[in-house]
Amino acid sequence: MKLHVVILAAGKGTRMKSALPKVLAPLAAKPLLWHVVETAKNLDAASINIVVGHGAEHVKKAFADEAINWYLQTEQNGTGHAVKQGIPDLPDEDVALVLYGDVPLIGQQTLTSLTDGLAKHDLAVLTAILDNPIGYGRILRDQKNKLSGIVEQKDANETQKAITEINTGILAANVGKLKQWLSALSTDNAQGEEYLTDIVSIAYQQNEHIFASQPQSIDEINGVNSKVELATIERRFQQIQAKQCLQQGLTIVDPSRFDLRGKLSFGQDCLIDINTIFNGNVTLGDNVIIHANCVLSDCEIDDNTVIHPNTVLESCQIGADANIGPFARIRPGTSLADETRIGNFVELKNTQLGTGSKVNHLSYVGDSQVGENTNIGAGVITCNYDGANKHKTVIGSNAFIGSNAQLVAPIKIEDGATIAAGSTITQKVPEKHLAVARSKQRNIADWNRPKKNK
């Protein structure tokens, strides 16, 4: 008996007030639907079947690299009608699990507990107890407390509205039975739609034993129907991730101001200050400190390195015992060796910096290879772009590049060379040479500055 996941993702999401299909709204920089698909993968589902409608082509394009079976719901005739579109190709002897593309926090453990109920039942329903159940379908039970039906809020009487056990919409069923129950649905209700929930009363009338289970956390069942709800779920998602990191030994100064939008790996005794954002895959060694307001994307940082405030790191590697920032930008393709120092308002791109080398202030170094223990002064620019092509700058070890120098690539500065401040260097500088390339200074006496015309 194999598990097949059916995800309903056809809704427009009018209350989102966006041209973007609702299931593509971002949660931790990934579409809502992405989170549900990842959960389905973790369940080792034999197939993932997604029912799309509004913005179908955009949704399919966003998941072009995934092994997904797509089904189109051309008319929005309710959840029962939607599930009908997603199960015709599933084997009758297998199990279908119905999820929703706008309910991203549903957990693997909760779903496993639900589907385990099918060992002795043909239908399993995820319910929950809410203090305020307004808006949800209510769970109906018979005198023996067996689940006998679900009534939607709009169809419920006052007695039924007082029930606090609600339907989450998530269920699992034997595929063959599910097809049979769906074929018996009608539109005789307040919304004139085929309610998926009606299969519960149909199954009950056929004397089927219906299994009910509860989620690990109420947060798991929350859906997204507005930007307010999206923001609420974003914070809850980040709190969950922060708690997991804290439990694994990461020090987070304020978990409410922590954003993980990918995967974070870390060693012992790392500290994360406020408002730091992690994108993609980020790896930290031991004793790494990330100060406030930093953005780290797809980077590796070795032991004992400090990233000072307001620094941006993207697709780069930082060695051990390094100091980066504040207000530094390390762009893709950059690799910094151990004990390097990158200071304030420095930008590096596609550059390799050797052990102990420094770029301390207000400089741009791009497409460069720099040796060990080299000092690059304030305001230095590697002029790597001629308007059409990028060119490389090679600087050896133990070199000294004076402030406000321009190195016009392609160019090579050999070991131990010195570049005088204010020089524009266009030719190779040999080992241990001093290069001076300044225009001659003239001092003009009694100079009168221009005056602004009134």
Name the residues annotated as catalytic: 361
C-alpha span between 389 and 395 (Å, rounded): 20
**How many other C-beta atoms can be found within 10 angstroms of the C-beta atom of residue 77?**
17
Please give the C-alpha separations between residue 80 and each of 14, 33, 62, in angstroms, as whole numbers.
20, 20, 26
Please name which of 14, 412, 40 lies closest in space to residue 227, comparing C-alpha atoms: 14
- Rounded CA-CA distance 326/329 in Å is 9
Task: Tell me how many degrees the CA angle 263-267-273 measures, rounded to the nearest 5.
Answer: 70
- Of 97, 93, 132, nearest to 113 by C-alpha is 97
| Torsions phi, psi for 177 (to 5 deg) | -65, -40
| Range 258-291 burial, b when 16+ CB lie within 10 A, else e | bbbbbebebbeebbbbbbbbbbeebbbbebbbbb
CB of 52 within 8 A of CB of 71? yes
- CB contact at 8 A, 391 and 374: no
Q: Which residues pair with 199 in a beta bridge?
A: none
Give me 235's structure tokens: 């914070």
Structure tokens at 26: 């971002």
Give Dmax over CA atoms of the chain in angstroms.
108
